[in-house]
Structure 1
Amino acid sequence: MSTTPSSERADQPGRRRVVLVDDHAMFRAGVRAELGDAVEVVAEAGDADEAVAAIGRHQPDVVLLDVHLPGGGGGEVMRRLAGAGPAGSPDTRFLALSVSDAAEDVIGTIRAGARGYVTKTITGPELVDAIGRVAEGDAVFSPRLAGFVLDAFAGTIEVAQVDEDLDRLTEREREVMRLIARGYAYKEVASELFISVKTVETHVSSVLRKLQLSSRHELTRWASDRRLL
């Protein structure tokens, strides 16, 4: 672990210290490969508890944080660190990196303390740039997502409203639901989420049953009505 003070690290923007948090090991490996030597990945974590421990131990410049994690989401990680006293570093900034681009995920994550939110379609060079900008204190969003934040502050999205139907779904079911509702094939969903096609089929059946829907067409309309696409 590097012992370089954060004040000195600020003079080395090309080597930001990063903790990578995502519950899919294959995805973490892919991100590390894309980042190359542009940043220093000092630790990885696959769930909320591991994330809090790793961030507290390493106090990185930036945390690349998935929104949905076992043991609590990215927002929970940030809230726990904010209340951790000396274990939480005020110099650490959070950049959400998620497959989800739903309004409630974006706004909830920003409200919890993230400085930016980008989707997993981002390229390696774009991600390196986003990490550098967030480390410097800028707010960074994928273009479509910035509109959600503006809408929330303008009051056009009722973020606090609890959708009882959506609340019935697990975090993984929500991810599958959004991709299916956008027209992804089962194989494409499996590739995007690093799960098997059979697992996708199981999640889709569960989603349709819980929401009392009978087809993908109805699911798309349901998601569109709730601005989840």
Structure 2
Amino acid sequence: MTGAGDEAEMTQTTTELDGPVSIVLVDDHEMFRSGVRAEMERHRDRVTVVGEGQDVETSVSAVMGSLPRVVLLDVHLPGGGGAEVIRRCEAAGLGSATRFLALSVSDAAEDVITVIRAGARGYVTKSISSEDLLSAIERVATGDAVFSPRLAGFVLDAFSGSIEVASIDEDLDRLSPREREVMRLIARGYAYKEVAKELFISVKTVETHVSNVLRKLQLSNRYELTRWATDRRLI
């Protein structure tokens, strides 16, 4: 999170809060969870962290065990992703009092649409400032939907039919969640070392993922990959 990266566009609050919002943090990067938890603990009058998850299984267990008001949910997780966490929690009988707010490095249309269709009440990126994130948590807890203006546009386009979600899903189904993350960063012009630093993996692992992505999508180089991702509004 940074000082003023991705201010969320929010609607009017529908209900009042009666105390700090209980939250569960879901992210497969321990360092990121630690950073968010430390920031949240500085604002205990507004939020309280009651659980954490690092993959689908641990996340579902944390949510169902603590029944928080809000789940801060990463989109890409081992075991099926953030949308799978929502689906499993709902299948296990999670009530509507718990709401999901996606917090992800990705701002790709496909990721936004997938998690919103699964039931998330909002989507913000990890560039959001601490204050905006706190406000987003409180707004989602009271029933609002929270998006940045760019991401809200993706949702509107998807439901108006401007984005062909089915064809995007078919292409991306060939890629693993990690390959999708690498693909988007490479398509945005990141160097291999930058991708490795961003995703906490080795350069060699990045090279392997890029090779797999190009092979699965039947592309020849990163320039074709950039054009492919741009055409599908994934970057």
Provide TM-score, normalisation by structure 1: 0.89
What does residue range 45-84 of structure 1 map to in structure 2 within 5 Å? 45-84=53-92
2:110 touches 2:168 (CA, 8 Å); kept in 1? no
1:169 is aligned, of 169, 175, 179, to 175
The residue number in structure 1 matching 2:113 is 107
Taking the aligned partners of 1:194 and 1:143, their CA distance within structure 2 comes to: 29
Residue by residue over 1:143-169, the C-alpha shift from the partner in whole angstroms, topping out at 9 and shown as x without a partner, is: 210100111121111223355442221
**Amino acid corresponding to residue 84 of structure 1 in structure 2:** A
Taking the aligned partners of 2:187 and 2:217, their CA distance within structure 1 comes to: 13
Taking the aligned partners of 1:121 and 1:189, their CA distance within structure 2 comes to: 16
The residue number in structure 2 matching 1:116 is 122
Residue by residue over 1:9-29, the C-alpha shift from the partner in whole angstroms, topping out at 9 and shown as x without a partner, is: 9312xx211100111111111
The residue number in structure 1 matching 2:203 is 197
1:35 touches 1:127 (CA, 8 Å); kept in 2? no
Segments of 4+ moved more than 4 angstroms: none
Taking the aligned partners of 2:194 and 2:148, their CA distance within structure 1 comes to: 22
Where does the alignment leave 5 or more consecutive residues of structure 1 unmatched? 1-8
Taking the aligned partners of 1:49 and 1:57, their CA distance within structure 2 comes to: 12
Taking the aligned partners of 1:151 and 1:114, their CA distance within structure 2 comes to: 17
Q: Does 1:94 align with 2:100?
A: yes
**Amino acid corresponding to residue 34 of structure 2 in structure 1:** A
Instruction: Note closer, same or farther for the CA distance 1:163–1:73 as it changes in structure 2 (3 Å cut).
Output: closer
Q: How many residues align?
A: 217
1:56 touches 1:89 (CA, 8 Å); kept in 2? no
The residue number in structure 2 matching 1:11 is 18
**Amino acid corresponding to residue 27 of structure 1 in structure 2:** F
2:186 is aligned, of 160, 180, 196, to 180
The residue number in structure 2 matching 1:27 is 32
Instruction: Note closer, same or farther for the CA distance 1:122–1:104 as it changes in structure 2 (3 Å cut).
Output: same
Q: Does 1:41 align with 2:46?
A: no
The residue number in structure 2 matching 1:137 is 143
Query: Percent identity of the aligned residues?
Result: 72
- What secondary structure sits across from 1:161 in the alignment? helix
Provide TM-score, normalisation by structure 2: 0.87
